[in-house]
């Protein structure tokens, strides 16, 4: 038995959905362990596109169990909409193949409103959230006042929990000159959908223990990139949860020894959505070309992504922070038409060279990238499935990336299609 955690090694949008879907063919169970419906995964299977936000990528495969862990914050209405949407594409979602942790915290309408109020009031200091209430929901979780899936079982308990959380939120809303949020209508709406949510609810930690005893292969699926981790990312321009691989244990209810291999998904260049530092960002024609060729628009928000050259310093750092054993390199084909390709191998900060991203956002905004330049290959790699079929310059770039980051590249993705993947090393077979 081997269990694998999949995480993004950059700022997200690395192509985790496709890789997790591709790996899930060999897995028995696929589990989301953090984030919310702010992070989207796009899968292209036999010409059909699936855009997932909360549902784990394994849901599109038959005979797999998909789980939303306790580390995920769940907008129950968004989840039900997503289930209905994917069922229209003939994907089965029922109590036999889908489980929600009874301990998962809910995103409620006042969380979304608070997210919007804060972003609008922040002006130039805005974080660049997706305005879906993820941050405020995590705040209530840490503040021990949130509503969890299990709270939907009892009207009396739900009433008490809503009273507690709304006393906090309404005090803030009053201070900001906003209308207070009424409890009764929200309670009525929650009780209306409660049966649809609760039918999927189970103690996930217990199910994982059962799966382990049955020797099932488990795939732990992260939502955002490590550079958005609330502790290890470009704080404060981060998400509100821990996105590193160790969160797969806390976000599902199993020990860290349950994870045997950590796979880092890494784009062959770099992108970022929202505000915050981005050392290799290109605000020129090359950056625009990367965005166009890579179709760099968010799955959830359709926001245009900022684009830049591959930052080897950052990826090497996230590999160490998250204990990554192997890299799945994605979107190599996006680089096909460039005359030359650059990789950041060092930074300059106040006239000094450094080989890591400093923790201070002030320093992060000041650093300048130092590049190594590689000749482009000017040949299509789209759909290539064998390393030997790649042009020499493409292979040289891959080997240079591997050598610099100090971690094995286990696969290379050459298109959004599931099968267009060069397999070098199968994590399930190591």
Positions annotated as catalytic residues are: 13, 41
Q: What residues are paired with 329 via a beta bridge? A: 266, 412
DSSP assignment, residue 35? B
Residue 142 CB-half CA count within 13 A: 9
- Tell me the C-alpha to C-alpha distance, in Å, between residue 62 and each of 23, 30, 152, 220: 14, 12, 29, 18
Tokens of 385: 């499935």
DSSP assignment, residue 239? -
Separation CA 302–CA 211 (nearest Å): 37
Residue 275 CB-half CA count within 13 A: 14
- Sign of the Cα torsion 202, 203, 205, 208 reads negative
CB 137 within 8 A of CB 106: yes
DSSP assignment, residue 326? E
Separation CA 40–CA 224 (nearest Å): 9
Over the Cα atoms of the chain, what is R_g?
Answer: 22
Separation CA 133–CA 167 (nearest Å): 18
DSSP character string of 196-236: HHHTTEE-HHHHHHHHHHTT--EEEEEEEEGGG-TTTSSTT
φ and ψ of 346, to 5 deg: -170, 165
């Amino acid at each position: 038995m081997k269990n694998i955690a999949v995480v993004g090694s950059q700022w997200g949008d690395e192509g985790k959905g496709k890789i997790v879907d591709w790996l899930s063919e060999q897995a028995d169970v696929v589990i989301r362990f953090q984030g919310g419906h702010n992070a989207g995964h796009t899968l292209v299977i036999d010409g059909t596109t699936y855009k997932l936000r909360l549902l784990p990528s394994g849901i599109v495969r038959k005979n797999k169990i998909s789980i939303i862990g306790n580390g995920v914050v769940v907008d129950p209405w968004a989840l039900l909409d997503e289930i209905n949407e994917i069922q229209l594409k003939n994907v089965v979602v029922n109590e036999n193949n889908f489980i929600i942790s009874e301990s998962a915290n809910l995103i409620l309408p006042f969380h979304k409103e608070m997210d919007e109020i804060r972003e609008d009031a922040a002006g130039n200091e805005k974080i660049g959230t997706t305005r879906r209430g993820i941050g405020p929901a995590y705040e209530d979780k840490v503040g021990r006042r949130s509503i969890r899936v299990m709270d939907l079982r009892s009207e009396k308990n739900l009433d008490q929990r809503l009273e507690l959380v709304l006393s906090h939120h309404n005090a803030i809303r009053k201070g900001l000159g906003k209308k207070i949020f009424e409890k009764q209508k929200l309670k009525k709406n929650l009780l209306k959908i409660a049966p649809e949510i609760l039918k999927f609810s189970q103690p996930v930690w217990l199910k994982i223990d059962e799966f382990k005893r049955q020797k099932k292969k488990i795939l732990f699926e992260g939502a955002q990139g490590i550079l958005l981790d609330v502790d290890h990312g470009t704080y404060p321009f981060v998400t509100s949860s821990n996105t590193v691989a160790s969160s797969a244990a806390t976000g599902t209810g199993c020990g860290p020894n349950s994870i045997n291999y950590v796979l880092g998904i890494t784009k062959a260049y770099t992108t970022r959505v929202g505000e915050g530092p981005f050392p290799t960002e290109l605000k020129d024609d090359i950056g625009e070309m990367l965005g166009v060729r890579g179709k760099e628009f968010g799955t959830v928000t359709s926001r245009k992504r900022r684009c830049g050259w591959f930052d080897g310093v950052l990826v090497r750092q996230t590999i160490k922070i998250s204990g990554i054993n192997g890299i799945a390199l994605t979107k190599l084909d996006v680089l096909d038409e460039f005359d030359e390709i650059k990789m950041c191998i060092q930074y300059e900060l106040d006239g000094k060279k450094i080989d890591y991203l400093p923790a201070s956002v002030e320093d992060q905004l000041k650093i300048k990238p130092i590049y190594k330049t590689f000749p482009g290959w000017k040949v299509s790699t789209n759909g290539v499935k064998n390393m030997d079929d790649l042009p020499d310059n493409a292979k040289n770039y891959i080997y240079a990336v591997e050598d610099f980051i100090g971690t094995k590249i286990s696969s290379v993705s050459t298109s959004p299609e599931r099968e267009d993947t060069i397999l070098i090393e199968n994590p399930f077979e190591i």
